Amino acid sequence: MTLVLRDVTVVDVEGRRLLPGRSVHVDAGRITRVVDGADGAAPDGAGAEGALATAEVLDCGGRYLLPGLTDAHVHLRATPHAGPHSDPSRRAERTVPAVEDLLPVLHGYLFCGVTSIYDAGNFATLMWPLREQERSGGVLSPRIHCAGPFVTCTDGHGSELAEHVAVDALPDDEARLRAHLGHRPDLVKITYDEHNWGIRPLIRILAPEVLRGIIEIVHDEGLRTTVHVSNELRAREAVDCGADALAHPVIQSPVTDEFVDRLAAEEVPVVSTLAIGARYVRLADDPGYVDGKMYVHCLAPEERQRLKTDEHEVQRGNRWADWMRVMTPVAQDNLRRLVAAGAVVATGSDLSLGPDLLRELELLQEAGIDPWDVLACATTNAARFLGAEEDTGTVAPGKVADLVLVDRDPTTDVSRLADISMVMKGGQLVDRSALHLAGERPAPSTAWVPHSISA
Q: What is the pLDDT of residues 175-210, one digit of tens each?
A: 999 999 999 999 999 999 999 999 999 999 999 999
**One-character DSSP codes across 221-267:** TT--EEEE--SHHHHHHHHHTT-SEESS---SSPPPHHHHHHHHHHT
User: Which contiguous run of DSSP H or E holds residue 212?
Assistant: helix 208-220
Percent of the chain with pLDDT over 70: 92
**Per-residue pLDDT, 94:** 75
Is position 397 within any domain?
yes
Band of residue 447 on the pLDDT scale cut at 50, 70, 90: very low
pLDDT tops 90 at residue 83: no
Is position 267 within any domain?
yes
More confident: 300 or 84: 300
**Per-residue pLDDT, 41:** 64
pLDDT tops 90 at residue 91: no
Is position 454 within any domain?
no
User: Which contiguous run of DSSP H or E holds residue 201?
Assistant: strand 200-202
The CATH number of whichever domain residue 290 belongs to comes to 3.20.20.140
Distance CA 207, CA 423 (A): 45
Mean local confidence (pLDDT), 210-236: 98
User: Which backbone phi and psi does 245 adopt, to 5 degrees?
Assistant: -160, 160
Instruction: Examine the domain organization and report whether 326 and 365 are in the same domain.
Output: yes
Total domain count for the chain?
2
User: Which backbone phi and psi does 30 adopt, to 5 degrees?
Assistant: -130, 160
Cα torsion angle, 359, 361, 367, 368, sign? negative
**Per-residue pLDDT, 123:** 96
Mean local confidence (pLDDT), 12-40: 94
Instruction: Examine the domain organization and report whether 59 and 166 are in the same domain.
Output: no
pLDDT in tens, 43-75: 555 544 444 567 899 999 999 999 999 999 999
Instruction: Examine the domain organization and report whether 312 and 292 are in the same domain.
Output: yes
User: Which backbone phi and psi does 304 adopt, to 5 degrees?
Assistant: -60, -40
pLDDT tops 50 at residue 357: yes
Instruction: Examine the domain organization and report whether 366 and 225 are in the same domain.
Output: yes
pLDDT in tens, 280-291: 999 999 999 999
Distance CA 382, CA 71 (A): 8
Mean local confidence (pLDDT), 91-119: 91
What's the gap between Cα 73 and its chain centre?
Answer: 5
Give 60's DSSP letter.
-
Domain extent at residue 321 = 69-386
CA atoms within 13 A on the CB side of 400: 19
**Per-residue pLDDT, 332:** 98
- Quote the mean pLDDT of the chain: 93
Instruction: Examine the domain organization and report whether 27 and 107 are in the same domain.
Output: no
**Per-residue pLDDT, 80:** 80
Q: Is residue 128 packed enough to be buried (19+ CB in 10 Å), middle (13-18) or exposed (0-12)?
A: middle
Instruction: Examine the domain organization and report whether 130 and 252 are in the same domain.
Output: yes
Instruction: Examine the domain organization and report whether 293 and 303 are in the same domain.
Output: yes
More confident: 444 or 359: 359
Instruction: Examine the domain organization and report whether 214 and 280 are in the same domain.
Output: yes
pLDDT tops 70 at residue 220: yes
Instruction: Examine the domain organization and report whether 46 and 146 are in the same domain.
Output: no
Percent of the chain with pLDDT over 90: 87
Band of residue 450 on the pLDDT scale cut at 50, 70, 90: very low
